[in-house]
A and B are shown apart, each in its own frame.
Chain A
Amino acid sequence: MSCVLVKVLFFATFRKKYGVKELTVNCDGTVKGLIESASKILGEDFLNDVYDREREKVRDDLIFAVNGRNIKDLGGDVKLKDQDVVSIFPPLAGG
């Protein structure tokens, strides 16, 4: 299994809830693997907040971006590489 280091950035309520702005996570290069690795550091809540276990994908209402591109625009299943930056936002809007 490959091992990659990914920088994860947290915003809005995630930043507040988990008390962290940025985390470097060692994972297997899959999005699910990244979230599971991060949840080992942040707790089980994080997995539930970010991942839809039933549908086996990132929760639909979040903005989950890899290097600034929403994974929904990348086809959903992204292979992460070393030094990729993942940004996670709760549902939000403005104008």
Chain B
Amino acid sequence: MGNILKVDLTTGTLRSEPISEDIAKKYLGGKGYAVYLLYNYLKEYESKGFSPTDINPLGPENVLIFATGPGTGIPGFPCSGRYHVMALRSPLTGSIGSANSGGEWGPFLKFSGYDMVVIEGASEDPVYLSIVDGSAELRSASDLWGKNVFDTCRILSRRVGGKNISVACIGPAGENLVRMACIMNDEHRAAGRTGLGAVMGSKNLKAIVVSGKKEVPVANRDVFREVSRRCLETMRKNRVTGEGLPTYGTSILINVINTAGGLPYKNWQTGVNPYADKISGETLAETYLTGRRACWGCTIGCGRVTSVSSGPFQIIGTEGPEYESIWALGGSTGVKDLDAIVKANHYCDEFGMDPISMGSTIAAAMELNERGYIPKEDLQGLDLKFGNSTALVEAVWRTAYKAGFGKYLALGSKKLCEIYGHPEISMSVKGLEMPAYDPRAMKGIGLTYATANRGGCHVTGYTVSAEILGIPEKIDPLTPEGKAKWAKLFQDFTCVVNSTVNCLFSTFALGAKDYAELLSAVTGWSLSEDDVLRIGERIYNLERVIINKLGFDGKDDTLPKRLLEEPMPEGPAKGHIVELEKMKEEYYRLRGWVNGVPTAEKLKELEIEI
């Protein structure tokens, strides 16, 4: 078992604690272990008479956890180059904060000698945390404050020197407490969702630089070698993980989802984008793509390297955009100029913002503006009309610096739309902007969005895989029948993947049985497929207990009115709405929940002690 580094920024003290094998057996690592720790922070607060609902997401009482898992950093463990970040409360949603990122930071943290980093309190002055070869210390970041993500990564990498260096940091958006600010690492990788960059900003923590050479232990090397060989071979032979994703990256989905009538266009007013092909993965490959980049130890390599060589949106040598960013910054805003989308995505990386929430908030503002709900003077010349490429790019940097109308955009779509009196225009769940799949055209993802603990999220349980892509089997996207079972299964299994900590893309080729074998080999425990899914269910339920304490229950497990009441106007899903209540009733029954709250019997059955 490894170690947890606990950092109290208020006092400037650092301490090391061992990972508990008993807790790891129940919650693995990564997300699961972090959820367990966060729950205990809540209990401690409650014991001191402090209500969880009084936690200020941007106050020193919020807790931020960076976590790797038992698979992280092991050569031959498929797609194990990631880390998970969690916070007690998201400044964007008020629910639990949760995000995941690739690149190299996760493995390099482990090589530095720690499995997890827990950040408590807040520093008076800007600091960064340096963890090099097991030695951790806080240093002044006064010279880094104000710098963008790329400069911060490069300066700190040079400062440490040598090999295996990785920097996770915030850009100006995090410093300025923009509610959709990311934690960025390795320049272009993001723990993107729920505004955790703003939590770092509120703590005056600019960056965490990690470096080291420590080998990650494997309990049973011979067994692991064999299981790893088989899993990697499966992934290589699989036409998705071995061919489709490496060739085109994630943006290849644009045309697929549009064909199914589920690519939200102009703030979800329809699911058919007439210009989808112009912003598709195929077009990106023909125009701006110059290379690809893989995360540490990844055999897929879905990352895109791009350049726009000329014109007003010129940018030389950037990464992305991937499917979600193309959709949010392009499809949802009605922008069809791929060069503008590449540039807007680059700014999101440079300033450290989540492109999904950014694009969706701009799209909501465009709809508010076109319907005449925003006074002209508030916009200060920003021509927020659907399809306006220049306004898109300008809106992104204005948000990072809270300049002009950017101060409203920086609040996220929910608060923006509330300010202008039309909350129904925010396409969000629990305050988190939904990603690029309209559930009127694929009902299961609607149930997942509604019941996801962190809010409108597709990677909490990617039912799109079965509904549209036919993985692991094809199910009809337009029926609500049977979707509860799939949503629960995907959510539980995803908890396993995020606690391992691995890339979800591995699951296009590998299942729970493969994970059980991989985990058994590296931990030395004997885990079956049922065991790992039960761990996943336990994690999902404890996370639910936390959000219940934060004030969320069945009333919040819902979708925007547009998806529940406005039939899809065109395409293969024409006439469809989301039959959420019907699916939710079955889902709660399968979960053992009442009104979005786990019953005492369910918690006991899962051996969750509260």
Q: Do A and B come from one complex?
A: yes
**For B245, what are the chain A residues with a Cβ–Cβ distance below 8 Å?**
92-94
Please tell me which stretch of B125-133, B252-260, B340-348 contacts chain A, meaning at least 4 of its Cβ atoms lie within 8 angstroms of it. Answer: B252-260
- Is B514 part of the contact surface with A, judged by Cβ < 8 Å? no
In Å, the complex CA distance between A91 and B302 comes to: 15
Tier of interface size on chain B: 35 or more
Contact B250 A95 (CB under 8 A): yes
The number of inter-chain residue pairs (CB within 8 angstroms) is 95
A70 to B241 CA separation, bound complex (whole angstroms): 21
State whether B256 touches A63 (Cβ < 8 A).
yes
A:76-95 near B, CB below 8 Å: 87, 89-95
A interface, how many residues as a size bin? 20 to 34
Binds A, one of B115-123, B155-163, B330-338, B457-465: B457-465
Q: A93 to B478, Cβ gap below 8 A?
A: no
Main secondary structure of the interface of B (DSSP, over half): helix
Q: Provided the pairs A12-B244, A67-B572, A69-B572 are in contact, do residues A92 and B256 lie with their beta carbons within 8 angstroms?
A: yes
Residues of B within 8 A of A21 (CB): 277
Nearest to B478 among chain A residues (CB) is A73
**Does B476 lie at the interface of the complex (its beta carbon under 8 Å from any beta carbon of A)?**
yes
* Residue among B241, B322, B468 having the largest count of chain A Cβ atoms under 10 Å: B468
Contact A91 B240 (CB under 8 A): yes
Q: 8 Å CB contacts to B: which residues of A1-29? A: 9, 11-13, 15, 21
Asked if A68 and B477 sit within 8 Å, CB to CB, the answer is no
- On whether the beta carbons of B239 and A61 are closer than 8 Å, the reply is yes
Subset of 29 A-B contacts with CB under 8 Å: A12-B281, A12-B282, A13-B243, A15-B282, A61-B470, A63-B468, A63-B470, A68-B260, A68-B571, A69-B260, A70-B260, A70-B468, A72-B470, A73-B476, A73-B478, A87-B259, A89-B255, A90-B244, A91-B238, A91-B239, A91-B244, A92-B244, A93-B240, A93-B241, A93-B471, A93-B505, A93-B508, A94-B302, A95-B458
| Chain A interface residues toward B at CB < 8 A | 9, 11-13, 15, 21, 61, 63, 65, 67-70, 72-73, 87, 89-95
Give the A-binding residues of B (Cβ under 8 A). 238-241, 243-245, 247-253, 255-256, 259-261, 277, 281-282, 302, 322-324, 458-459, 462, 464-465, 468-471, 474, 476-478, 504-505, 508, 571-572
